[in-house]
């Protein structure tokens, strides 16, 4: 096992996938990927049954994630990777942050169950739970409490939903965040790579922004309570990449990016108060 700052390297564990994403970047810059259909064709060709099985072995749930709505989430995740690898916020990160971001993207929609015309408002919490279960199996360090806590914590986090009045779907229950976050720190430590990866996934549907409004955004008080300067750069890159994953080939791509940057300017100002 190879590690970056004592945690596993995405580039080593998923070397073939990383090389594929680099090839997507090269093809994009060469003008060979100009549409979602172009990208979907390359993703479908890459994920042969053997590659799908290999990824499933490392990341249980990958095959199920890829099965929904004709593979739309799989293509989206690859588009997020493509967007991430070319964005200035990622390119200016430290090597350690870049490796963390790659793990974040890999897991961020793992538990997403999309339906046509309907958003899955609770998948961030479920995907964070899946990451907490799988990352230690890939070599991420844990505390002595991990084995004692993980099963109950996963069940608690996955079930942390609520159904607001006059809203058709279940959404993530932010009232459960103190217990969820306390469990992450008890199992993985404070501000460790694994803790930051899981928290970034956990909060990726939590920032109040116009282009992709979450069902249950954090309040200003919750932003100051739950986020910090280690987490925010990762969360910003996650949200920018997530937007790229849907808007890369659309005309409003740049305006969406600017709106997300403004939302995070507000987050950063709130943290500095």
Looking at the predicted structure, is the pLDDT value of residue 5 above 60?
no
Averaged pLDDT for residues 238-262: 96
In this predicted structure, what is the pLDDT of residue 70?
A: 85
In this predicted structure, what is the pLDDT of residue 116?
A: 65
Say how far apart CA 84 and CA 86 lie, in whole Å: 5
Averaged pLDDT for residues 242-264: 96
Q: pLDDT (tens digit, 9 = 90+) per residue, 116-157? A: 666 767 899 999 999 999 999 999 999 999 999 999 999 999
Q: pLDDT (tens digit, 9 = 90+) per residue, 73-89? A: 999 999 999 999 999 99
Rounded to 5 degrees, what angle do the CA atoms 81, 84, 86 make? 115
The pTM of this model reads: 0.95
Looking at the predicted structure, is the pLDDT value of residue 4 above 50?
no
Q: pLDDT (tens digit, 9 = 90+) per residue, 211-247? A: 778 889 999 999 999 999 999 999 999 999 999 999 9
Q: pLDDT (tens digit, 9 = 90+) per residue, 7-40? A: 999 999 999 999 999 999 999 999 999 999 999 9
Say how far apart CA 71 and CA 69 lie, in whole Å: 6
Looking at the predicted structure, is the pLDDT value of residue 6 above 70?
yes
Q: Reduce the DSSP state of residue 121 to 3 states and report it.
A: coil
In this predicted structure, what is the pLDDT of residue 1?
A: 34
In this predicted structure, what is the pLDDT of residue 84?
A: 98
Say how far apart CA 18 and CA 24 lie, in whole Å: 10
Q: pLDDT (tens digit, 9 = 90+) per residue, 188-202? A: 999 999 999 999 999
Averaged pLDDT for residues 178-193: 97
Write out the two tokens for 20.
């594929």
Averaged pLDDT for residues 255-262: 96
Say how far apart CA 42 and CA 33 lie, in whole Å: 9
Write out the two tokens for 272.
């500095």
Summary mean pLDDT of the chain = 94
Q: Picking from 23-27, 50-54, 69-73, which range would have the lowest pLDDT averaged per residue?
A: 69-73
**SS3 helix, strand, coil % of the chain, rounded to 5?**
65, 5, 30
Enumerate residues 6+ apart whose C-beta is below 8 A from 129: 111, 153, 154, 157, 158
Q: Which candidate, 257, 249, 252, places its Cα nearest to that of 37?
A: 249
- Cα-trace Rg, the chain: 18
């Amino acid at each position: 096992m190879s590690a970056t700052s004592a945690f596993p390297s995405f580039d080593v564990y998923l070397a073939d996938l990383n090389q594929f994403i680099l090839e997507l970047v090269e093809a994009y810059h060469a003008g060979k990927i100009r549409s979602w259909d172009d990208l979907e064709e390359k993703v479908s060709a890459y994920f042969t049954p053997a590659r799908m099985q290999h990824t499933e072995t490392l990341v249980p749930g990958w095959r199920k994630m890829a099965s929904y709505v004709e593979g739309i989430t799989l293509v989206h995740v690859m588009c997020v990777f493509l967007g991430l690898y070319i964005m200035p916020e990622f390119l200016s990160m430290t090597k350690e942050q870049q490796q963390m971001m790659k793990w974040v993207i890999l897991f961020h929609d793992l538990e997403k169950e999309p339906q046509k015309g309907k958003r899955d408002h609770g998948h961030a919490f479920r995907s964070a739970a899946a990451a907490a279960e799988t990352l230690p199996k890939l070599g991420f360090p844990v505390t002595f409490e991990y084995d004692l806590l993980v099963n109950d914590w996963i069940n608690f986090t996955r079930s942390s939903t609520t159904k607001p009045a006059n809203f058709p779907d279940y959404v993530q229950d932010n009232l459960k965040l103190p217990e969820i976050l306390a469990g992450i720190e008890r199992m993985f430590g404070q501000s460790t790579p694994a803790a930051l990866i899981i928290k970034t996934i956990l909060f990726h549907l939590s920032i109040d922004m116009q282009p992709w409004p979450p069902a249950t955004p954090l309040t200003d008080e919750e932003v100051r309570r739950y986020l910090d300067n280690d987490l925010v750069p990762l969360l910003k890159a996650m949200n920018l990449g997530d937007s790229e994953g849907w808007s890369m080939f659309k005309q409003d791509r740049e305006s969406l990016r600017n709106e997300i940057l403004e939302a995070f300017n507000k987050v950063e100002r709130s943290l500095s108060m």
